[in-house]
Structure 1
Amino acid sequence: MTADTKREIERKYEATPGTRLPVLTGVAGTARTVDQGVAELDAVYYDTADLRLAAAGITLRRRTGGGDAGWHLKLPVAPGTRDEISAPLADEVPDALTALVRARTRGAAVVPVVRLRSSRDVRHLLDERGALLAELSTDTVRADRLNGSGRHAEWTEIEVELADGGDPAFLDAVHKRLRKAGLRPAASSSKLERALAETGWRPPREPEGDGSAGDHVLRYLREQAEALLTYDAAVRRDLPDSVHKMRVATRRMRSALRSYRKVLDRAATDPVADELKWLAGELGAARDHEVLTERLTARIDALPDTLLLGPVRARLQAWAAAGRAGTGERTAAALDSDRYLALLASLTALLAEPPLRRAARGTAAKVLRGAVLKEYERLAARVDRALALPPGNARDHALHDARKAAKRVRYATEAARPALGKPAKRFARRMKSVQQLLGEHQDAVVARETLRDMAVKAHAAGETAFTWGLLYGREESRAEQCERELPQVWGRAAPGGKAGRL
C-alpha cells in the first residue's frame, strides 16, 4: 500500500446559502476565475470512541466523489496548515495510515464517528498565464454523528486552498478581500471539528493552573508529552531532524522527572523515567549515526584532494548506508513495540493523576529555583572532577558525565523559565554554551573511535590508512582544544563558581 503526501495550506470562512463572493480578479496577480462545477462528496471520518485523534487536531477519513477519492490522514503543522497523507480507496483503514496514528490510538479500535456529505462548488483562481494560484470552494455540508445519537448539523462554508508550491502571502491578500466583503473566518479549523462541536462534543481542556510549583512542572511535562506524540508520526515519515526532536522530548521529560523529585513522587515517576531512558537510547542510535556521518563527511570535504588517498569517500558512504539501515530498523522496531505503547499509556496515566508531593503546592519560583541550583551543584562537582584529571580516557569519560549533567541543568532551567523569567533564560543560555562545548568534545572522542576502526578495515583491505590517520589526528586536536577552552567557558557560565543568578 502506497501513500502520498502534500502540504495543505488553506483558510476557512463562515457562509450562508445567500453569501455572495466578491470579485477576486486583480487580487495578488489573479487574472481570472474559472468555474469547475459542483462535486458531491461523501466522507466518513474515523477515530477512537473517545475521539483521541480529534482532540489532537488529526482527521482520518474515507471519501468518495470528487477528484481525490480515497483515504486521507491530515496532520496539523501550524494554524491553517496540515500535511495530507493519502492512500487509495479501500474498505479498511490502510496500514500505512494506521501506523502514523498508532501513538495516539495505542491499540484502541478506530471506528466511524462522523459522516459528512458536501456539495462543493469549486472555482480556480488563475494568473495571467493560466497557472493555478488557489482553489476556492463553497461547501454546503450535512454532518451526521455515527454514535447512535441521531445528532446532525448543517452549514455552509467557504474554503480557499493554496496551490501546491504557492506563496502563503497570496492567501493573505484573498483574506483581505473576503473580510472587506463581510466574510468571517471560521471558528473551527476543520469540518470534522465543527461537526463534532455542533453535535455535542467538547474537546478536552488542559486543567486550569494555580501557578504552583506542581502546576509549572506538569505544564512542561504535558508540552513535552505532546511533542513526543507529534514527532512519532514525523519519525515514521522519515522527516528531517524528527528523530532528534523526538529524542529531545524524551530527555526533557526524563530530566524534569528527575530534577523535580520534590514535586513528583519518584516511586511513581522512576519507572516512567526508566522507560523514557530506554526510548531515548533506541532513538539515539539513529541520531548518533546521523550526526557522526555528517561530521566525518564535512571533515573529508575539507581536505584537499591531494590528501584523499584511497577510496575514502566510498568507504565512508558504505559505512553510513549500513549504519543507516540498521539504526532505522531499530527505531521502527522500538516504535512498533508493545513496550513503547505501554510507556505511552503509563505517561498518559501519570499526567492524568500526577503523584504530587507537598512541595508541589509551594511557591513556583522558590521550589523550581532550588531544584535548578541542586542540579547545578552536581554539574559543578563533575566539571571540577574532570578538570582535575590528566588527559586520557578517564578525563574523556568524566567530561561526558559533565555534559549530561549540563544538559539536565539546562532542561531543568527551561522548565522553570515561566516562573523565573529572564534570569532563567540567561542561565539556560550559559548552560547551553557549556553543554555545546562538552558535546563537541564528546563528538570528537566518538569520531576518533570510528576513524580508527575505518583505518583498521582499510589496512586489512590493502588500502592506505593515511587519510583516516590524518583525520584521527585532527579529531584528537579538536578534543584537546575543547579541554583547553573549558575553564574559560565554565567561568563565563557561572562567574565566581556560583549559580546565584536565578
Structure 2
Amino acid sequence: MGIEIEDKFDVPTDYAIPDLSGLAQVAGPRSHQLVALYYDTPDLRLAARGVTLRRRRGGDDAGWHLKLPKAKGVRQEITCPLTRSTKIVPPELAELVRAYSRGAELQVVAELDTRRSVTLLHEGGTHLVEVADDRVKGTVHRDGRVLRWREVEAELLAENRRDLLAKVGKRLRKAGATPAGSASKLARLLEPTPPAKADTEPGTAGETVLAYLSSQVDALLTQDPRVRRAEEDAVHQMRVASRRLRSALKAFKSVVGGTEGVQDELRWLGTVLGEARDLEVIRARFDKELAGLAPELVTGPIQTRLGTDLYEREQQAYERIKDALSGDRYYTLLDALDALVATPELGKAAAKPAQEQLTAVASAGWDRVTRAYETAQGIEDPERREIAMHDVRKAAKRARYTAEALEPTLGKDMVRLARLAENVQEILGAHRDGVVAQETLAKEAEGARQAGEDTFTYGLLIGIERNIAERAQADFPRVWAETVKAVKKVL
C-alpha cells in the first residue's frame, strides 16, 4: 500500500519532454509496454467516484492495482500480485470497493494499451520524481470505441521533495503541457457521470447544508476501505462522519426534511462502529496507565487481561463491522445517502439566505445545551443527575457539529462557537470516560479475583480513574461559567 501523489498533463502528439537536468540527477528514458484491464460495475459506480481497479501487465509494477481518492492529486494505492485469471478480481480488492459496487458484479469495462517512456530524477541513489510520457490507446469494452492520446505524469517518489515535483511541473508547462482535463486515463476514456447533486441557489441555506451533507457522505465512503483494512483511526473517522451526518439532519430539518429513517440507520451504523472504537480507546488508555506505574506495582497477569484480552475482543468487533459493511442494510443506507444529496426533500427554509436562516439554527443548537444543563441541575438524585449530564454532553457535541458545518458560510463566529461547545463536550467526556473505565476495571478485577489472581494493580488503576473523573467534575462549573459568558459574545 502506498500514497500516490502526481501531477497529470495533457500534451500534443509532437510534445518534447524538456531538459530536466539541473533539478536533480537524471536517468533514462526507459521504455515499457503496459497493457491494463479496468474493472467496474456495468454502470461505472467506481469510476464515478474516482476509484480505479485494474490488472496490468508490463513495466516494473505489474499486478493488480486499486487506487482510492484521498484528496486532489493524492490517491491511496493498494496492490496485489498478478493472477492468471482476467475474470475474477482478487477477493481482498473486491472487498475494499464494496461501498461503491454495493454487491454489483465487477467486470472488465476498458483496456488501455500504453507505450510509456520513463525519466527518473534521483539524488545519491534516492528516487525523487518519475516523469512518465505515455502514448495511450484506450478501448471501451461496451461498444468497442477506441481513443488515442498522449499525456505526461510527474509522480512524487520522495514525500519530502514536493518542491521538486512543483519545479518539474513548471518546466513541463513551460514546454507546452497543460494540466490534464481528466483525473485519470480511465476517466478520460469512459467519461463517467459523477454522482448527482441537487441544484440549489447560490447563497441559500439549502446550498450550504447540502454541500456539508455531501462532504460528509464522501468522508464516510472514503473511510470505508480503511475500516475494512483496520487502518489506524479509520473506525473513529467513519463513526465521526456518520455522527456528523445524523447531527446535521437533526439540526437542519427545516432545510432538509423527511430524513428520520436515514437518521435511524446512521444511529445503527454508529453503534456498529462504536464497539471496536470504544475497545480500542480503553485498551490504549489502560496501556498508557500501566506503563506509567513502577514495575513493582504491576502484579498478576493484568497486562494480558487489559491488553491481549481486550485486543482479541476488539478484533472480534472488527469482524462484526466487516459483516455489517457487506450487508444489504448498509448498502441501502448508502443508496439513501446518495438520494438525499441528489434529490432532497427541501423545506421552505432552504430557499432563504444562509446568513439569516443558519445563524438562528446555530443559536438554537446552543440553547439546547443550556436547557439540558438546567434540566440536569434540577435533579436532586446524584445518579440520575449524572445520567442527565451525559445528555448535556451529547447536546454540546451536536452544537459543535452544527457550528462546524456552518464555518464556511458564517465564518469566525462559528469557529469560536464550535471550540466553546467542544470545551464542554471534552470535560464532560473526561468525566464520563473515567467512570466507564472504573466500571470496566471493576469487572475485569472480579474476573481476576475469581481466577485467584492478584488484584492490587486493578485497585491502583481504579484510583487513578476516579481521580480523573472527580477532577473533571470539579472543574466543570468553572468551564461552564466561562463558556456561557463567551458564547454570549458570539451569538
What TM-score does the superposition give when structure 1 sets the normalisation length? 0.91
With 236-245 and 110-119 compared, the bigger mean Cα shift is at 110-119
SS in 1 for 2:370: helix
1:132 paired to 2:122 = no
With 228-237 and 16-25 compared, the bigger mean Cα shift is at 16-25
**What is the distance in 1 between the residues matched to 2:26 and 2:396?**
59
1:438 paired to 2:433 = no
1:326 paired to 2:309 = no
In the alignment, is the contact (CA less than 8 A) between 2:435 and 2:466 conserved in 1? yes
Q: Quick one: which of 451, 461, 469 aligns to 1:479?
A: 469
1:73 paired to 2:66 = yes
1:501 paired to 2:490 = yes
Output one character per residue of 1:27-75: Cα deviation in whole Å (capped at 9) or x when no partner. 1xx3341343x22222222223332222211111122233333321111
Which amino acid in the other structure matches residue 26 of structure 1? G
2:221 corresponds to = 229
SS in 2 for 1:329: helix
Q: Quick one: which of 16, 19, 22 aligns to 2:15?
A: 19
1:128-277 matched pairs, under 5 angstroms:
129-148=124-143, 150-163=144-157, 167-197=161-191, 203=194, 206-210=197-201, 211-265=203-257, 268-277=258-267
1:288-303 matched pairs, under 5 angstroms:
288-303=278-293
SS in 1 for 2:43: coil
In the alignment, is the contact (CA less than 8 A) between 1:25 and 1:33 conserved in 2? no
SS in 2 for 1:66: coil
In the alignment, is the contact (CA less than 8 A) between 2:279 and 2:311 conserved in 1? no
Q: Following TM superposition, by how much is the alpha carbon of 1:117 offset from its aligned partner in structure 2, in angstroms? A: 1.1
Which amino acid in the other structure matches residue 494 of structure 1? V
1:360 paired to 2:350 = yes
In the alignment, is the contact (CA less than 8 A) between 2:36 and 2:56 conserved in 1? yes
Which amino acid in the other structure matches residue 145 of structure 2? R
Q: Structure 1, unaligned stretches of length 5 or more?
A: none
Q: Following TM superposition, by how much is the alpha carbon of 1:499 offset from its aligned partner in structure 2, in angstroms? A: 4.9
SS in 1 for 2:4: strand
1:452 corresponds to = 442
**What is the distance in 2 between the residues matched to 1:166 and 1:378?**
47
Q: Structure 2, unaligned stretches of length 5 or more?
A: none
In the alignment, is the contact (CA less than 8 A) between 1:430 and 1:492 conserved in 2? no
Which amino acid in the other structure matches residue 304 of structure 1? A
Output one character per residue of 1:303-353: Cα deviation in whole Å (capped at 9) or x when no partner. 222322333323322222222122111211111121111111122222222
1:56 corresponds to = 49
1:118 corresponds to = 114
Quick one: structure 1 residues 274 and 310, their matched pair in 2 at CA, closer, same or farther if it must change by over 3 Å?
same
Q: Percent identity?
A: 43
Which amino acid in the other structure matches residue 275 of structure 1? E
Q: Following TM superposition, by how much is the alpha carbon of 1:452 offset from its aligned partner in structure 2, in angstroms? A: 0.7
Q: List structure 1 segments (4+ residues) > 6 angstroms apart after TM superposition.
A: none
**What is the distance in 1 between the residues matched to 2:25 and 2:355?**
58
Which amino acid in the other structure matches residue 209 of structure 1? T
Q: Following TM superposition, by how much is the alpha carbon of 1:195 offset from its aligned partner in structure 2, in angstroms? A: 2.0
Which amino acid in the other structure matches residue 218 of structure 2? E
With 244-253 and 356-365 compared, the bigger mean Cα shift is at 356-365
Quick one: structure 1 residues 215 and 186, their matched pair in 2 at CA, closer, same or farther if it must change by over 3 Å?
closer
What TM-score does the superposition give when structure 2 sets the normalisation length? 0.92
**What is the distance in 1 between the residues matched to 2:362 and 2:369?**
11
Output one character per residue of 1:155-211: Cα deviation in whole Å (capped at 9) or x when no partner. 1122233336663333223223333444333232221122234xxx55456444312
**What is the distance in 1 between the residues matched to 2:16 and 2:353?**
56
SS in 2 for 1:22: coil
**What is the distance in 2 between the residues matched to 1:439 and 1:135?**
48
With 405-414 and 188-197 compared, the bigger mean Cα shift is at 188-197
